[in-house]
Structure 1
């Protein structure tokens, strides 16, 4: 039975990809974007890693560990370590966006298609933040150690500018393809759901909620893991004890954050199951957990915001995005909860049966249970 179900899903996936020229172009563009952007981002990562190693080697060779030498580069090394973690996040995001594109086509989620275009442009704008932070790293290093690192050159035109151009190019192409798919999938959904305005509204609410869960898988889960990585020094023997340290956070809260990180995955599973079964108690628990996650991220942001000199701008912006995602997820959890028992489940099941009959002999839409998406 499992093998038959897997074969059915594979056939459905293939049929959805080749359904039109726009679905094919959309998937191909997504794969190309991931491959090219990851390659360019790896180049930037290697550049940053080499710069950090050069600075550290110079410190070891010249024994620049004493502050009376007038050259303290340890804060710069911390900052470059943060920037390298940004590079890894960008690489992971490109893999995520490819998966996001595949699921959008597979489930014909129009809301997800449009959101993807917005996220791609946001990703392109984040590349500007990366450039700003790398430029600041070089300038701070030169100021901290006058005359010692003047020969270091980030070569922005060779590494960062091509990345920004490629991101903007693919964001524009994907926006055009998203509009084409929005029109195509919108008509398909209308045929399956029908003309009932109330049912359409509840169905769109459900689609938005599912899309938010997928985004939370990247933003919230990755953000929580990043928080654990950034403040991992708090469980070491030489953990910072003063709020002035750029990686200081109270140890009790750090362990609370670890618990929150584990709960994010549990919340995803509970949310999907509660939505599929229209389980009200489960959805109420999910809503409460979104509030807990939001508070957790706000506290981390409080300890992350420092002076312009010491703040990690990317992480702070990432945190605020996470807070916004938690708030939106909480709001749509309430919306979905209110729709339980309003007939959406029954209507969609009946509509899909009618839709399957009208689209025979396509076997890809056969389904024996109430699915979240089709």
Structure 2
């Protein structure tokens, strides 16, 4: 069962876990602060521009006549992108704590990759802001808020890249720490370790595809993860479509335009589900439990191993 004591113990277990969480929290604070300032400057700039009275202005090319209307529309949408980015940082910190507490190497590496992607998106944000700044300079409207936002976007891109590099190194050290913990818990059997990694890799993917979504993802994740821990093949066949239905509902509003991304995510999720089913009944069940079931099944596993060692003991008489 997850308790505050367990969270504190796992976060303070080594210097690498302390540094990882500290850097993740600092990244969230820095990026949220800069993004919110950029959002406010974009909003101020949009308020200085005339808004189109209809959607007809959006059909024209970006000439000097319609640049203000086009810029106002674009800056209005960028505001929501900034807010989404802030929400992502909050989610990232939560996932960093989750990966540290449950010592999930796959989740740590996935977060590191996402951080690199964020650095690329930060650079694209600079390019997009500079494009609209140059266009608005051809008009009579003031561009002071947008010019300030551009400088902040450059600073944001540098900050994201610096934190991405730092967290990439810390993720490597954390993976080594988790590998040693898995070795102490499971033993030197490489095959069992490999199967355990395959199973625990499935749940981070389910979390990643449901980030920043609606409350629908909560029953979706339960319906998809519970059959894995219970190693129930029949439930995997029945609950998987139901669980995917909840995740579809959660992603509908945000990802309706990302058809190919959705297909790729489904293929990856189903593939990992098949790999997890192949590992059922191979001694992994005690190691993928949480809460009271974890202690109960691990105690049974230790008793079975003790009995096996007892049966091989040579009688001195």
TM exceeding 0.5? yes
* Matched positions, count: 287
Cα deviation, residue 276, structure 1? 2.2
Distance in 2, Cα, partners of 1:366 & 1:282: 18
Distance in 1, Cα, partners of 2:270 & 2:219: 16
The question of whether the paired residues in 2 share the 8 Å contact of 1:117 and 1:178 is answered with yes
Partner of 1:108: 103
Gaps of 5+ in 1: 226-260, 302-315, 353-363
Distance in 1, Cα, partners of 2:218 & 2:173: 34
Cα deviation, residue 344, structure 1? 1.6
Q: Residue 106 of structure 2 aligns to a residue in which SS?
A: helix
- Structure 1 residues 172 and 339: alpha-carbon distance in aligned structure 2, compared to 1, 3 A threshold: same
Distance in 2, Cα, partners of 1:85 & 1:299: 15
Aligned-residue RMSD, C-alpha: 3.7
Partner of 1:337: 277
Partner of 1:257: none
- Residue of 256, 273, 287 corresponding to 1:300: 256
Q: TM-score, normalised by structure 2?
A: 0.76
Superimposed CA distance per residue, residues 317-360 of structure 1 (whole angstroms, 9 cap, x where no aligned partner): xx7655543332221112112222333215x389x9xxxxxxxx
Superimposed CA distance per residue, residues 168-206 of structure 1 (whole angstroms, 9 cap, x where no aligned partner): 111111111111111111011011112223322221111
Moved more, 27-36 or 79-88: 79-88
Q: TM-score, normalised by structure 1?
A: 0.66
Gaps of 5+ in 2: 299-317
Cα deviation, residue 49, structure 1? 0.9
Distance in 2, Cα, partners of 1:52 & 1:320: 33
Partner of 1:355: none
- Structure 1 residues 151 and 270: alpha-carbon distance in aligned structure 2, compared to 1, 3 A threshold: closer
Q: How does 1:202-241 map to 2 (within 5 A)?
A: 202-218=195-211, 222=213
Q: Residue 172 of structure 1 aligns to a residue in which SS?
A: helix
- Residue of 273, 286, 295 corresponding to 1:368: 295
Superimposed CA distance per residue, residues 250-293 of structure 1 (whole angstroms, 9 cap, x where no aligned partner): xxxxxxxxxxx94x443212012222222334423454465994
Partner of 2:309: none
Q: Residue 112 of structure 2 aligns to a residue in which SS?
A: helix
